Amino acid sequence: MTTLARRVVSHNHDVVFISLLDGERSVQAAGLNFIPCGVKEYPKGSLNEWLVLLSKLQGEEALQTTMRNVARRTEAMLNSLPAILTEAAVDAVVIDTVLFYVELAPISLDLPYVHVSNALHCDYSGYTPICLYGWPHATTPAATTRNREGVKNFLKRLEPTLTVAKTYAGSIGVKADWDNPYATLSKLAWISQTPREFDFDSSHWPSQFHHTGPFHDGFGRTPVDFPWNQLSGEPLVYASMGTMMNGIADVYRVIGTAAAQVKGIQLVLSIGDQISPKEIGLLPANTIVVKRAPQLQLLKYASVCITHGGLNTVLESLAQGVPQVAIPINVDQPGVAARIAEKKTGLFLPFKELNESRLSFLLDQVLNNPIYRDNARHFQKVIAQTDGLSEAARLLERAFETPRSPHKRYR
């Protein structure tokens, strides 16, 4: 989102970035003006404390914990955002779709707003699987029934957040069709950084929905030191489980053991802040273990990326033509992994099925079967040609030039 904000700034617009206080460091590294919100409920350090808890969870427990925090975060942001938007003299708002129902704040002020899906977008229609599941896409009646049950299950998990939204909407006199998950999504534009070619095929998206492509420009990130002199020149396997669910030492241990069974490669293991290398145990001598890695730069040298299936990491891999082995854990990661499998840019292994022998087999397959590298390189060309960042900025500008009447339907 900071990359998109900087592109909008380059078009001579004034931009302020509003987020929880723990987001300040990343926003400032991107050279953007920062305004904290939800400070009372989320003082400095609180989001990191929650991430420490989440990092060690998996499966249903991880999903329930995530959804409880979604409701709490929505309430905190709605409590403070209207005053912040007013004081900052904001003319228009861009909202990440993971901030469910936060759009009620600009609605309360009659401000135009656009939604952006940095994570994988949710399909509430049932024509494709909602992103919480790693189901393959099919158009049979049975698949559609399965997909719609998946949507119902997700909306049931979202009920605490919906209760927050209904209460807030009632306090500001806003009415909406709460049975429609799309009811308060922007009517001006809904932008996903997922390339159309990487998504499941469907003609049932709302008219304002747009696939673009990844919001990458290679800049605006916190500098990270890396021992480049330790790269051996062997085929490089880069492994990262992201920044949220990365506190399970056994996962890294399995990755290290599986990589050791594939001869002639070097592993770079980015483990995050929640565990120490000592918890992982013995690894091959040429393994490089770091807390944080310069991911974009390393992917330029990588032969395979082992990933949790986070959309940003997968799109960054595809932008470099690097195939993937995904180990999805939670939220949208199973949906991203299902697209990896359908587009044959790699393979995936559900977290509950993770073991050394299966991961080693998949890694060997992706390394040595050229179809995965060829398909990843196809998407590299697609991403370069579509220039998703420029397209997203153009869509934002076009949306905010349109009349504001679509928002008055909520009054």
pLDDT at 153 over 50: yes
Q: Which pLDDT score, from 0 to 100, does residue 410 have? A: 36
pLDDT digits (tens, 9 = 90+) for 82-123: 999 999 999 999 999 999 999 999 999 999 999 999 999 999
pLDDT digits (tens, 9 = 90+) for 216-268: 887 767 778 999 999 999 999 999 987 655 567 788 889 999 998 998 999 99
Least confident piece of the model among 65-69, 242-246, 282-286, 334-338: 242-246
pLDDT at 344 over 70: yes
Q: What is the model's pTM?
A: 0.90
> What's the distance, CA 15 to chain centroid?
22
The total number of residues shown for the chain amounts to 411
pLDDT digits (tens, 9 = 90+) for 356-377: 999 999 999 999 999 999 999 9
CA-based nearest residue to 213, from 196, 198, 193: 193
Which residue did the predictor score with more confidence, 277 or 397?
397
Q: Which pLDDT score, from 0 to 100, does residue 135 have? A: 96
Q: Which pLDDT score, from 0 to 100, does residue 404 have? A: 53
Q: Which pLDDT score, from 0 to 100, does residue 272 have? A: 82
Q: Please state, in angstroms and rounded to a whole number, the distance separating the CA atoms of residues 247 and 311.
A: 19
pLDDT digits (tens, 9 = 90+) for 181-193: 999 999 999 999 9
% the chain with pLDDT above 90: 74
Least confident piece of the model among 16-20, 345-349, 399-403: 399-403
For 267, list phi and psi in degrees, rounded to 5: -105, 130
pLDDT confidence band for 407 (50 / 70 / 90): very low
Cα separation values, 351 from 20, 186, 248, 318, 394, Å: 30, 34, 11, 22, 38
For 376, other C-beta atoms within 10 Å of its C-beta total 25
Q: Which pLDDT score, from 0 to 100, does residue 58 have? A: 61
Q: Which pLDDT score, from 0 to 100, does residue 340 have? A: 97
pLDDT digits (tens, 9 = 90+) for 127-139: 999 999 999 999 9
Q: Which pLDDT score, from 0 to 100, does residue 245 have? A: 53
pLDDT at 125 over 60: yes
* 176 contacts: CB under 8 Å, gap ≥ 6: 169, 183, 184, 410
* Domains within the chain, CATH numbers bracketed: 2-213+387-410 (3.40.50.2000), 228-385 (3.40.50.2000)
- Interior/surface letters 120-130, b for 16+ CB within 10 angstroms, e for the rest: bbbbbbbbbbb
CA-based nearest residue to 243, from 204, 272, 221: 272
The predicted model gives 271-298 an average pLDDT of 85
pLDDT at 405 over 60: no
Q: Which pLDDT score, from 0 to 100, does residue 107 have? A: 96
pLDDT confidence band for 69 (50 / 70 / 90): confident
Q: Please state, in angstroms and rounded to a whole number, the distance separating the CA atoms of residues 192 and 212.
A: 6
